[in-house]
Amino acid sequence: MTAPDPQSRPDDSLETLQLLVNTALQDRSTYCPEEGYWQTYERAAADDAADAIVLQFSGRDPSAAELTLLGNAVASANGVDLIEKLLRRLEAKAMPLIFSLLQDASPDRMAAAVRLASHVLTPETWLSASDDAAALVRVAVVEALAGADGMSADNPRCVPDYKERVRHALADPSAEVREAAARSRYPDMERNAIVARLIVNTDDAWHRTRLGRGLIEAQDWDIAHWTKASFGDAIVRCELVKLIAAPNPELRTIAIQKIDRLIDALPRDEAVSDFCIALFEQLLVEQHLPTVEKLLRVQSYPRVTGYIIGRSSELLPEHLPKLRFDAPRFLKRFGPAAVPLLERLADGIGYSADHARESLDAIRAATSAARQRPQ
């Protein structure tokens, strides 16, 4: 008796697969299955069907008939997002379908194919899309190039010159493509220098904000990659200072947190006064209360103690107590240098005067303890 072919499938399994594929590529409904006694969570019918399809191909590749069925379904489906989700789940088993999708004339399908191909195919299959007429496709190529940073050099899916290609994309005529290149977060000071100059030369406020986000979120500004070389470009430095006062409060908050953390990691002799001064000046005018909280917690202010005490002296006695932060407790971190200002505040009455006296007591106690400490 001849052993059955393990790749053969009964007809009803193809019918089942057809039903699952139809659901995975067309059904956008959701349902809430029970989870435990009191908790429910929402599930997408398409996701469940896609999981079932992956399970059908567990431990084997799709047969020719199954690939034909999948290919026809993908070709006729309208939801590119659902197509991409299904093929991403199938990974290498969907390579023939991804190859076919790379030849599609539709820009959104082509963009999805580039994203998929960069995960399972070699760059030669999708790099030519960098010259596609549709900006949507070129954006997908830039994002795929940026993903090469996490690959080892011997990975066949790695693009050896991905950094140069991303820098080249910063000259693309499409703002969307330039922004995608700026969003590439891996360390590359050359790219960031180009991004900073793009910010200087654009009049479009929205585009400038998007480029600024790319600049501040790049990993060059993480502590592990912070070096004097990357810190030294005057235009990059100037644009980072401007981000502290960016119109978008979310962007300001990101810039404030990262710049303060980076300054704190630099040697005490590093020249960072322009950053520290910009942070303090933003604190004086900031209206967004969550950002005020971030500015109050900045650790680098003591690096410009003289400036802050002098600037605060200009504001006292009328304005500083009325600012949106507790001035006496803020001044306490500057130690003896803040005593004259705190003494002026302590002469008044009310909340600020009480806190000024508390701050003075704390500074004097710390100074006395330091003098008594053996040398």
**What tokens does 281 get?**
């000046």
**34 beta partners:** 40
Single-letter residue type at 204: D
Closest to 177 in 3D by CA, of 145, 223, 153, 217: 145
Give me the phi and psi of 51, to 5 degrees please. -60, -40
Residues 6 or more apart from 55 whose CB is under 8 A from it?
none
Closest to 363 in 3D by CA, of 323, 326, 334, 341: 334
Read off the pTM.
0.81
Residues 6 or more apart from 145 whose CB is under 8 A from it?
159, 162, 165, 166, 169, 184
- SS3 state of residue 34: strand
Cα–Cα distance measured from residue 143 to residue 141, given in angstroms and rounded to the nearest whole number: 5
H or E element in which residue 31 lies = strand 30-31
pLDDT of residue 42: 85
pLDDT of residue 10: 44
DSSP strand pairing (34-35 vs 30-31): unpaired
Spell out the per-residue pLDDT of the chain, length 375, in tens.
344 454 444 445 899 999 999 999 999 999 887 766 666 778 899 999 999 999 999 989 999 999 999 999 999 999 999 999 999 999 999 999 999 999 999 999 999 999 999 999 999 999 999 999 999 999 999 999 999 998 998 999 999 999 999 999 999 999 999 999 999 988 888 898 999 999 999 999 999 999 999 998 887 665 555 555 555 688 988 998 999 999 988 999 999 988 888 887 777 767 788 899 999 999 988 988 889 889 998 988 999 999 999 998 888 666 665 666 788 889 999 999 999 999 988 888 788 888 889 999 999 988 887 777 776
Cα–Cα distance measured from residue 20 to residue 59, given in angstroms and rounded to the nearest whole number: 19
Q: Angle 82-87-90 (CA atoms, 0-180°, nearest 5)? A: 135
pLDDT of residue 4: 43
- Residue 112, Cβ density class (10 Å: 0-12 exposed, 13-18 middle, ≥19 buried): buried
pLDDT of residue 229: 52
The residue ranges of DSSP E strands in 145-290, in sequence order, are none
Q: Which residue has the tokens 């399809």?
A: 53
pLDDT of residue 127: 96
